[in-house]
Amino acid sequence: MPTYAPSPVTFVRGRGTELWDTEGRRYLDFLCGLGVTSLGHAHPAVAEAVATQARTLEHVSNLFCTEVGVEVARTLDRLLGGGGQVFFTNSGAEANECALKLARKWGGRGRHVVVSAYGSFHGRTLATLHATGQPAKHEAFQPLPEGFRHVAWCDLAALEAAVDPTVSAVLLEPVQGEGGVNPATPEYFQGVRRLCDERGLLLVVDEVQTGLGRTGAWFGFEHYGIRPDVVTLAKALGNGMPIGACWARAEVAGAFQPGDHGTTYGGQPLAAAAARATLASMEAEDAPARAAAAGERLASGLRALPGVRSVRGVGLLLAAELAGGQARAVTAAALARGLVVNAVTATAVRLAPPLLVADDELDEGLAILASALAP
């Protein structure tokens, strides 16, 4: 269906940071499928885990438990500080959908509104679309489900004014990825945490794009010195296999009862095996530290490029604001030269290379982008 513009290239093979198209041309992938292949393409440990699991057990009904799913849930709970429970999904939108339903069930009747920020992106189901703070994306699909309210990004006073007795939760990203790579501030997130505590609200943090090392910490919220009540994950969790997760503190997760929510494929063994191998490899490689160091090198290199007005972001989730403002043209020129990035806004190019990207690959990517920026 014509939901995307025609693709200028067709990729057939990948390895690490590299991609090859049908014509045999090589590219550096500095987008990672929108932050998905954080360990790079065809990572050997993940590939072997999927192949082994495919020969062992591909799927059972979610009426039954599997060992691999339990292992992944335990690992996520440990990385998130413990004391929580996990619901597995197939995508980030479904992880956020789970969080929204959990917030409504936890809040009870009459206390169902979720407040999110303008510029946010939380998914494309009808509910997560309305949670997304981009009104232009709403218009074609009205009427959308009610129960959503939007406030200015990083404006604590606006958030406080929006909270009334109908509100059950606040939903925020640590860095607005699709909104233009806009990081929050520690002061804002700490203020939101205090407000939620004072008003008895859930703080739901959408880590779909920022989670699992991309920002230089396991989770973006760690930069702000707070702990959420609910965290949603996907993208990097399976390094390409479709899997997402909604984690919640046990007392919050307990609002769900059997029959309240479900999914046929969520946490099924094939995807969970990929997640298990991905998490193990990330821990073995200390992926957050790798992302922090590589992010500093990439950000420094971007700031030195003629035509880059400013650089924003955290770790290996960066946006280069262009002096000329022609992000789409620069993105196309970069692709023609062998570099995959994307125009996250009309004036900014987003870069999100694999967390294990090598220094020489960063330097090569910067050189290609410099060529694409040249008049």
Query: Average pLDDT per run of 10 along the chain, which is 375 residues long?
Result: 92 98 98 97 98 97 92 98 98 98 97 98 98 96 97 98 98 97 98 98 98 98 98 98 98 97 95 98 98 98 97 98 94 98 97 98 98 93
291 and 216 within one domain? no
91 and 177 within one domain? yes
60 and 49 within one domain? yes
Q: Which residue among the candidates 29, 87, 148, 235 is catalytic per the annotation? A: 235
Q: Is 36 inside a domain boundary?
A: no
Choose one of 251, 285, 319: the last residue of a domain: 285
Quick check: helix, strand or coil at residue 105? helix
Q: What CATH number did the domain enclosing 19 receive?
A: 3.90.1150.10
Place of tokens 């008895």: 200
207 and 244 within one domain? yes
**What are 58-72's pLDDT values in tens digits?**
999 888 999 999 999
96 and 238 within one domain? yes
The pLDDT value given to residue 325: 86
Q: Is 138 inside a domain boundary?
A: yes
The pLDDT value given to residue 61: 85
Q: Is 4 inside a domain boundary?
A: no
Q: Which residue among the candidates 121, 148, 219, 221 is catalytic per the annotation? A: 121
Choose one of 285, 311, 344: the last residue of a domain: 285
Contact (Cβ atoms closer than 8 angstroms) between residue 339 and residue 363: no
Q: Which pair of structure tokens corresponds to residue 10?
A: 């067709």
The pLDDT value given to residue 150: 98
The CA-atom distances, in angstroms, between 130 and each of 133, 193, 204 are 7, 23, 16
Q: What CATH number did the domain enclosing 267 receive?
A: 3.40.640.10
| 206 is a catalytic site residue | yes
Q: Is 6 inside a domain boundary?
A: no
Sheet holding 167-172: strands in order across? 84-89, 244-249, 230-233, 202-206, 167-172, 113-117, 148-151
**Rounded-to-integer distance, Cα 244 and Cα 59, Å:** 16
67 and 55 within one domain? yes
212-229: buried (b, 16+ CB within 10 Å) or exposed (e) per residue? Answer: bbbbbbbbbbbbbebbbb
How much is the CA Rg of the chain, to the nearest whole Å?
Answer: 20
Domain total in the chain: 2
Q: Which residue among the candidates 206, 219, 221, 229 is catalytic per the annotation? A: 206
Phi, psi of 353 (to 5 degrees): -70, 170
104 and 220 within one domain? yes
Q: Is 3 inside a domain boundary?
A: no
152 and 268 within one domain? yes
The pLDDT value given to residue 324: 85
**CA contacts within 13 A on the Cβ side of 281:** 24
- Residues near 207 by Cβ (< 8 Å), separated by ≥ 6? 173, 174, 219, 220, 221, 231, 232, 233
| 235 is a catalytic site residue | yes
The pLDDT value given to residue 219: 98
Structural domain span for residue 237? 45-285
Cα torsion 37, 121, 349, 30 to 10°: value is 0
**Rounded-to-integer distance, Cα 279 and Cα 221, Å:** 18
The pLDDT value given to residue 375: 82
pTM exceeds 0.85 for this model = yes
Choose one of 224, 258, 285: the last residue of a domain: 285
Q: Is 241 inside a domain boundary?
A: yes
Contact (Cβ atoms closer than 8 angstroms) between residue 268 and residue 60: yes
110 and 53 within one domain? yes
232 and 116 within one domain? yes
The pLDDT value given to residue 39: 98
276: burial class by Cβ within 10 Å (0-12, 13-18, 19+)?
buried
368 and 268 within one domain? no
Q: Is 38 inside a domain boundary?
A: no
Q: Is 199 inside a domain boundary?
A: yes
344 and 240 within one domain? no
